[in-house]
Amino acid sequence: MQDLLELSEHDNLLMFEDIGRIALDDSDEECQVNGISLLLEAEDPKLIQRFLNLLASADTTEFVRAAAANALGFYVYLGELEELKPEIHHELEDALLLAYAEDPSDLVRRRALESLGYSSREEVPPLLRFASAKESEQWLESALFAMGRSADNQWEALVLEQLDHENPEVRGQAIHAAGELSLSAARQRLLRQLDREKDEYLRSELIWALSQIGGEGIEEKFEQLLAKTDDDEEASLLEEALDMLNFTNEAIDFELMEVDYNHEHDLNDEDEDIADVWEDDEDDEYEDREEFNDEEWLRYVDDDEDDLEGSLDDSYTLEDSEDKEDF
């Protein structure tokens, strides 16, 4: 299962969804977790009930429940896009809220909160504020991750505040959230950090976030870095970032050219037709910019796999798991 998961992550043409479905019923928790990971890109609403059952089951371990909570985030996203029936959307949101409130594992509660980041339910913003105020860097990391998914600029000040956090994992999530939210106020700070940052993970987050924000100075910086780098992986990342940046800058230019037809002009029939076209284009642009990023989602949970393997020995206890890195 681990080999299949690695193959699927490195080659988008390889799909092992049928094996992933089989693994959901396996007695081994690591097989179940890897099976859920293989199904993150399945986009199959029929899986929702399977994941809900795993999340609610008293017979599953915290790692399986956490993986199920993580997988449900994508379906919350689909529900927000009105691509799920409202009753199904509300059911899975209720299940995640219940898991956040009652699951004994902090890991499961954190993953539930992260999936709820996509939700527009009124209960979610207070939960994110509470999580970010806890004296726990893990909870702060999860809160920032969820804020990035929210498409809500009410979190701008909090995200900007954490861009210089001493914990690289927290800082990485703040950088990513700044990119997800397209926070132009973060642009200059991120450019300065990119000049001095040596950590590979943080550099990749900075490059990605700047490609999402766009604007003055970023293209020049990327081209300078591309001309100097000897790292093939960073060169590939910069080339992808430049492609994304072109799209981002075009979107910014389009927004600057928008005309508010509701002010200073009376609409005649022809003007109304033009305004309708602009509104439709704006909607399309928003959908493109907010497209769900499943590769980032996998990358965020991948760093916990080594700790899951280490936790499956004979001495494993729930108390021990709280001191380990999360799945």
Q: pLDDT of 113-156, one tens digit each?
A: 999 999 999 999 999 999 999 999 999 999 999 999 999 999 99
Domain that holds residue 170: 136-257
Does 209 map to a domain? yes
Q: pLDDT of 195-218, one tens digit each?
A: 999 999 999 999 999 999 999 899
Does 322 map to a domain? no
Q: For residues 29 and 14, which has the higher predicted lDDT (pLDDT)? A: 29
User: Domain of 188: which CATH number?
Assistant: 1.25.10.10
Does 228 map to a domain? yes
Residue 315, pLDDT above cutoff 50: no
Q: pLDDT of 42-53, one tens digit each?
A: 889 999 999 999
Closest listed residue to residue 246, CA positions, set 221, 212, 280 = 212
Answer whether 45's CB lies under 8 Å from 84's CB.
yes
Q: pLDDT of 70-79, one tens digit each?
A: 999 999 999 9
Helix axes 294-302, 62-80, angle to 10 degrees: 160
Total domain count, the chain: 1
pLDDT for the residue numbered 15: 83
What 8-state DSSP symbol labels residue 81?
T
pTM above 0.85, yes or no: no
Q: pLDDT of 78-91, one tens digit each?
A: 999 999 999 999 99
Helix axes 187-196, 218-228, angle to 10 degrees: 10
